Structure 1
């Protein structure tokens, strides 16, 4: 176990690294339109640039999970720092499509590498309180998105250029790079316990772990797809669609900050079951409401999804500890991969819905807006079936885990 001051410094540096990850999402989302105008990029090119962050992330998180025990968490985080630095500088000095493409890919790789190292790091230094501390760590993801979107909003109002907005990410990047370079790191919990690499990989075939990977598809899609698409899907239903995202994300920050008593009161599986119920209820309200009821839907949905990602990782780390860093990072990679595939599928579904709601031969702006107003909630209603399935799955998991004792992390069978 790390001494407390060292442990706290490692945790603060990890939170700063995750803050850079989330700022990259928030700021890039805010300036994407201007990049399109400045570099004469069409919607398809902008979409490809935005998607590269999601391609780099799962590759980096899975590969990082496989090598973290070999090269150590410190070296992996220095790699993340180099990719973050390169990605940010390439964006600031971008000259067109390919520099933006490569810069976003670098940032995506850096983001995945941060998770590959920091998830097992937090689980190792807080081995007695994994799920709660993973929630505290992951509050910086929605927190950074809120900070990033506010930076873009206020600096736009002040007439500050997008290069300076991106450049602000250099501050937390340089701080976390400096901190990690000076701190000493523990070995991962799995290595410290003497569980062999072969045993770790065999543990990935545990039926419970395979079930958790499948459930991670659903929890990640429910949280990240809806969060990304709220503005697009509800823009024609509400004048405040982006405010709905801010409310949802703000609720996630508050919820994760107070995860400790909630996780201890309800257990990780109880939290996941309640989360699925609230997510389904929130999606129902978002898909069937107008006016102020939409804000109630955003609050309930935010309460639902806020615990999904860190509690899924915490559950695997606590109940399947022999899967080690690879297990946690396969969960993260699976979640992000599922979101990218579902986003492509639902984007096509949304376009077809819009077309089906257009009166024959009428492609006027008014008709298009009416078609989008009808199509957006239908996509949310289709997505609502995922948390409904999760309710059943997590109820079964809850009762299954009640009858099991928690495993200890010891080598051998």
Structure 2
């Protein structure tokens, strides 16, 4: 069996592109869906949240079975979920068809991550965090492409059904590519770490700490990005362009992960990210007009490295956690976003009602509430940096002895 590392990596990136296109296009058409199907913000929040809780359901389940059935079979399943979800969205008739189709896409997205994160770490065992950043640049990359598709197709008068249909092209391509390639076993299996040892490793206090922090990093990045058009549509006429700018910054940042990680440690990068993320959210909720674009750049710089660096940190420092550890982290992040999205959808409607229809005020309140999360992360990651420095000193002392 011959493993073509580069082709597998490219196919993985393409499957993640479909995942991110679903986020970018959905963010762009969210208000349009609300108008066409007469849905309030709470209903839109429920539909959006479905993708986020469908994701952790698939990614955690995938984490438990990926070593047993193999990464290839999981990716065939992801392809089928994507295909069904996209087609059902195109032919949606109301709340429930949108809800089910979004759930299917969420399951597909989670299954892609359940297979591709361990695939990348298995292909690049000596360069995990950098390659995870390169892989995950296709998430913001797809959001940029998706939002630009929405803007372009809206301008030329093509409906949201056509915009969603665009996702069929990369879906069919990645399904074909994965069907003809051979896959390695996961790194954990290859290194001989037993299933029992893997389960013990996820009870490590450091893993539990990072698992909890993943709630905050995911909400800071994904909730704000997914709802940016809704939150800022009353502040600027270019709310969707702000999402495009923010995610464009993320693409560039993740593309330059290698030189960045040569200069600073992953834990230091997470601390800097939390600080910039907090500043970015504060500015998004405070600035108006063209100044909001500056806020989007700062925010993009902040959340740029969060997701892949969290995964890379765990898999590098606790490799025994294997595919399960990677997928529990991803599941934790998306589950947190799903709960937060549902809560904030209802909160937005309540604030708008109390403010007599003032959507700009409601969006500002949501952002100010969300600001608490990266502020807590700053404190948490200061603690992580102190702990890792102490651990490094102990290791150095043990080597000398």
What TM-score, normalized to structure 1? Answer: 0.89
Does structure 2 conserve the Cα–Cα contact (< 8 Å) formed by 1:277 and 1:387?
A: yes
Q: Structure 2 residue aligned with 1:185, among 174, 183, 192?
A: 183
Give CA-to-partner distance per residue, 1:200-228, whole Å, 9 cap, x none: 01111100000001111111111112112
Distance 1:39 1:374 in 2: 25
Q: Structure 1 residue aligned with 2:389, among 378, 399, 402?
A: 402
Closer, same or farther: CA 32–349 of 1 in aligned 2, 3 Å: closer
What's the CA shift for 1:34? 4.4
Closer, same or farther: CA 11–201 of 1 in aligned 2, 3 Å: same
| Structure 1: gaps (5+ residues) | 408-413
Aligned residue in 1 for 2:399: none
What's the CA shift for 1:33? 4.5
> What secondary structure, in the 3-state scheme, does the structure 1 residue paired with 2:307 have?
helix
What's the CA shift for 1:191? 0.5
Q: Structure 2 residue aligned with 1:296, among 271, 294, 297?
A: 294
What's the CA shift for 1:343? 2.0
What's the CA shift for 1:79? 0.7
Give CA-to-partner distance per residue, 1:372-397, whole Å, 9 cap, x none: 33332232222222212211211121
Distance 2:67 2:246 in 1: 36
Aligned length in residues: 394
| Structure 2: gaps (5+ residues) | 396-401
Aligned residue in 2 for 1:249: 247
Q: CA RMSD in A?
A: 2.2
What's the CA shift for 1:242? 2.3
Distance 2:284 2:87 in 1: 39
What's the CA shift for 1:404? 2.7
Distance 2:124 2:314 in 1: 15
Give CA-to-partner distance per residue, 1:12-40, whole Å, 9 cap, x none: 00000000111112223333444455556
What's the CA shift for 1:107? 1.1
Q: Structure 2 residue aligned with 1:25, among 20, 23, 26?
A: 23
- 1:4-403 pair list within 5 angstroms: 6-36=4-34, 45-356=43-354, 358=355, 363=356, 368-369=357-358, 372-403=359-390
Give CA-to-partner distance per residue, 1:18-69, whole Å, 9 cap, x none: 0011111222333344445555656555443333212211100000011000
Aligned residue in 2 for 1:410: none
What's the CA shift for 1:355? 4.4
> What secondary structure, in the 3-state scheme, does the structure 1 residue paired with 2:285 have?
helix
What's the CA shift for 1:116? 0.4
Answer with 309-318 or 145-154: which moved more.
Answer: 145-154
Does structure 1 conserve the Cα–Cα contact (< 8 Å) formed by 2:277 and 2:299?
A: yes
Distance 1:93 1:58 in 2: 26
Distance 2:93 2:342 in 1: 28
Distance 2:242 2:112 in 1: 28
Closer, same or farther: CA 88–233 of 1 in aligned 2, 3 Å: closer
Closer, same or farther: CA 352–74 of 1 in aligned 2, 3 Å: same
Does structure 2 conserve the Cα–Cα contact (< 8 Å) formed by 1:2 and 1:125?
A: no
Distance 1:2 1:265 in 2: 35
> What secondary structure, in the 3-state scheme, does the structure 1 residue paired with 2:391 have?
coil
> What secondary structure, in the 3-state scheme, does the structure 2 residue paired with 1:288 have?
coil
Distance 1:310 1:274 in 2: 15
Distance 2:369 2:118 in 1: 35
What TM-score, normalized to structure 2? Answer: 0.92
What's the CA shift for 1:282? 1.3
Closer, same or farther: CA 107–374 of 1 in aligned 2, 3 Å: closer
What's the CA shift for 1:249? 1.0
Distance 2:365 2:34 in 1: 29
Does structure 1 conserve the Cα–Cα contact (< 8 Å) formed by 2:128 and 2:316?
A: yes
Answer with 240-249 or 11-20: which moved more.
Answer: 240-249
What's the CA shift for 1:351? 3.8
Closer, same or farther: CA 330–38 of 1 in aligned 2, 3 Å: same
Give CA-to-partner distance per residue, 1:251-304, whole Å, 9 cap, x none: 111111111110121110111011011111112222222233322211111100
Answer with 233-242 or 129-138: which moved more.
Answer: 233-242
